[in-house]
Copies of this chain bind each other. A is one copy, B any other.
Amino acid sequence: MAHTALHDSLPDEAEAFTPRQQAVLECALKLLVEGGEKALTTAGLARSANCSKESLYKWFGDRDGLLAAVVSYQASKVHFASEGAATDAVTFRSHLTAFVHELLGVLTGETSLALNRLAIGQSNREDARLGRLLLLRGKYTISTRARALLEAGRFRGFLKFEDAEEAYQVLYGLAVRDQHIRQLLGDKPRTKDLDVDRQASLAVDRFYRLFGADAPLAGGGK
């Protein structure tokens, strides 16, 4: 594994960055977090990372390539712990809570917010390259992981639903609510919403009341 990587599958191609390049990308992330897209100029990055603009263009092609590299690089650093199969209801629920906890932690992170702002800000034209990249490397992988977890729960009889994707979306909605968009817009979250532990367990509580095995009605019932 982790050879030169045929680019048909997504994940580890991002690891094909030289340590030097990773250092530069790290510096780019820093600039991006503290100043936004406007602060990430080629000259500024070159100065800040002690490298030459020529190297930047040699490595990443052009500025868009640099931005894409930053997104790929950061995405490659986020890994959701894939816990072993849960045999009993209690540990499964704790796994699910841990997942939601991790999800909230990632979404509210400063670098995640900065990258989402970057990708959204230039998803206006119909190309939306960065947006698609972020969806692919971020949301889709997380969604896949979540669906697997939920389906395992259904198989074990802890959960009850028809469409795993829809169930995941509801879980996402219960956990994130409008906190993400508010933070993207620069709102400071209330102290109550900073208690990730509580928010995660609250969301799982409510999710079980909708999709738990003992819930009165199944998910999509007409």
Complex Cα–Cα for A139 and B119 (A)? 22
User: Is A123 at the interface (CB under 8 A from chain B)?
Assistant: yes
Whether B184 pairs with A120 at a CB distance below 8 angstroms is yes
In the complex with contacts A117-B124, A185-B119, A178-B177 CB distance below 8 A: no
> Which secondary structure dominates where chain A touches chain B?
helix
Bound complex: CA of A16 vs CA of B161, how far in Å?
Answer: 51
Q: Mark A167-198, 1 if CB is under 8 A from B, else 0.
A: 00110111111111110111100000000000
How far does the Cβ of A168 sit from chain B's closest Cβ, in whole Å? Answer: 9
Is B177 within 8 A of A170, CB to CB?
yes
Residue of chain B at shortest CB distance from A171: B177
Q: How many interface residues does chain A have, given as a range?
A: 35 or more
Contact assessment for A120 and B122 in the assembled complex, using a CB-CB cutoff below 8 Å: no
CB distance from A122 to the nearest CB of B (A): 7
Contact status B36-A178, CB under 8 Å: no
A36, A123, A135 — which one has the most chain B CB atoms within 10 A of its CB? A123
Nearest Cβ on chain B to A28's Cβ, whole angstroms: 14
A128 at the interface (CB under 8 A from B): yes
Interface residues of A in 5-28 (CB under 8 A from B): none
Binding-face segment, A58-66, A80-88, A91-99, A203-211:
A203-211
Return 9 A-B CB contacts under 8 Å, by A number.
A36-B123, A120-B184, A131-B186, A132-B187, A135-B186, A169-B179, A170-B206, A174-B174, A176-B178
